[in-house]
Chain A
Amino acid sequence: MKRVISIIFLATFLSLLLMSCGSSSANTASDSPAQYIENKGSDTIVNLALAWAEKYQTDNPEVRISVTGGGSGTGIAALINGTVDIANASRKIKDEEVAEAQSKGITPVEHIIARDAIAVIVNPENPVRKLTLQQIADIYSGKITNWAGVGGEDRPIVKLSRETNSGTHVYFLETVLRLGEKENKTLFSTDTLLLPSSEGIISEVRTNPNAIGYDGLGYVPDDLVMIAIAEEAGGNYVLPSIATVNDKSYPIARDLYMYTNGEATGILKEYLDWLLNTEAQQIVAELGFVPVK
Chain B
Amino acid sequence: MEKSLNWREFVITRAIKASGYSAIVFVLLIFFFLMREGLPAIGEVEAGNLFSLRWYPIEEMFGILPLISGSIIVTIGAALIAVPFGIGTAVYISEIAPRWMREILKPLVELLGGLPSVVLGFLGILVVSPNLRILLDLPTGLTAFTGSLLLGGIAVPTVVSVAEDALDAVPRAYREGAWALGATKWQTIWRVTLPAAKSGVLTAIMLGVGRAIGETMTVMMVTGNAPVLATRLGSLFSPVRTMTATIAAEMGEVANGSVHYHTLFLIGIILFLISLTVNVLASSVVFRTKKRAERILS
Select which of B139, B228, B250 is within 8 A of A190 by beta carbon: B228
The verdict on B59 contacting chain A, using a C-beta distance below 8 Å, is yes
What is the interface of chain A, defined by CB distance below 8 A to chain B? Answer: 2, 5-6, 9, 70-71, 73-74, 77, 100, 155-158, 163-165, 170, 187-188, 190-196, 200, 203-204, 207-208, 210-211
Q: Is the CB of A194 within 8 A of B10?
A: no
A170 to B56, CA, bound (A): 12
B77 within 8 A of A: no
Chain B residues contacting A203 (CB-CB under 8 Å) are 125-126
Decide: A208 and B130 in contact? CB cutoff 8 A.
Answer: yes
Which 10 A-B residue pairings sit nearest by Cβ, starting from the closest? Answer: A165-B253, A207-B130, A193-B224, A156-B139, A194-B225, A158-B140, A73-B253, A164-B58, A158-B139, A191-B226
A-B contact pairs, 18 of them (CB 8 A): A2-B7, A6-B14, A71-B253, A74-B252, A74-B253, A77-B253, A158-B140, A163-B225, A165-B249, A165-B252, A191-B228, A191-B239, A194-B227, A200-B221, A204-B129, A204-B140, A207-B129, A208-B133
Contact of B225 among A157, A170, A195 (CB under 8 A): A195
Residue among A70, A155, A163, A211 with max Cβ neighbours from chain B (10 Å): A163
Q: Which residue of A lies closest to B14 (CB)?
A: A6
Given contacts A187-B59, A204-B142, A208-B140, 14 further A-B contacts (CB under 8 A): A6-B10, A77-B253, A165-B250, A170-B58, A190-B226, A190-B227, A191-B228, A192-B226, A193-B224, A196-B220, A196-B249, A207-B130, A207-B141, A210-B139
Selected from A165, A190, A194, A200, the residue in CB contact (under 8 A) with B125 is A200
Q: Closest residue to B245 on the A side, CB-wise?
A: A196
Shortest distance from the beta carbon of B58 to any chain A beta carbon, whole Å? 5
From residue B141, how far is it (CB to closest CB) to chain A in Å? Answer: 7
Q: Which residue of B lies closest to A5 (CB)?
A: B7
For B6, the closest partner residue in chain A by CB is: A2
Taken residue by residue from 235 to 255, chain B's Cβ proximity to chain A (1 for < 8 Å, 0 otherwise) reads as 000110100000001101111
Q: Number of B residues contacting the other chain (C-beta, 8 Å)?
A: 37
Interface mask (B112-151 → A, CB under 8 Å = 1, otherwise 0): 0000000000000110011001000001111000000000
Complex: A163 Cα to B221 Cα, angstroms: 12
Do residues A193 and B253 form an inter-chain contact, with CB atoms below 8 A? no
Give chain A residues whose Cβ lies under 8 Å from the Cβ of B66: 190
**A164 contacts across to B, CB distance below 8 A:** 56-58, 250
Q: Which residues of A contact B250 (CB under 8 A)?
A: 163-165
What is the distance, in angstroms, from A14's C-beta to the closest C-beta of chain B? Answer: 15
Cα distance, A211 to B133, chains bound together (Å): 12
Residue among B54, B125, B133, B253 with most chain A CB within 10 A: B253
Complex Cα distance A158/B133, Å?
Answer: 12
**Inter-chain contact B241/A2, CB cutoff 8 Å:** no
The closest CB in chain B to the CB of A165 belongs to B253
Among B58, B66, B241: residue with most chain A CB under 10 A: B58
- Tell me, yes or no, whether B11 is within 8 Å of chain A by CB: yes
A155 to B57, CA, bound (A): 31
Smallest CB gap from B225: residue in A:
A194
Task: Select one of B14, B141, B142, B249 contacting A163, CB under 8 A.
Answer: B249
Which residues of B have CB within 8 Å of A100?
Answer: 255
Task: Point out the residues of chain B lying under 8 angstroms from A158, CB to CB.
Answer: 139-140
Q: Determine how close the nearest CB of chain B comes to the CB of A160; give it in whole angstroms.
A: 9
Q: Is the CB of B56 within 8 A of A188?
A: yes
Q: Which residues of B contact A77 (CB under 8 A)?
A: 253, 255
Tell me, rounded to whole Å, the shortest Cβ–Cβ distance linking B246 to chain A: 10
Provide the residues of chain B in CB contact with A157, threshold 8 Å: 139
Name the distance in Å between A13's Cβ and chain B's nearest Cβ. 11
Q: Give per-residue flags for B136-168: 1 if the beta carbon is below 8 A from chain A beta carbons, else 0.
A: 000111100000000000000000000000000
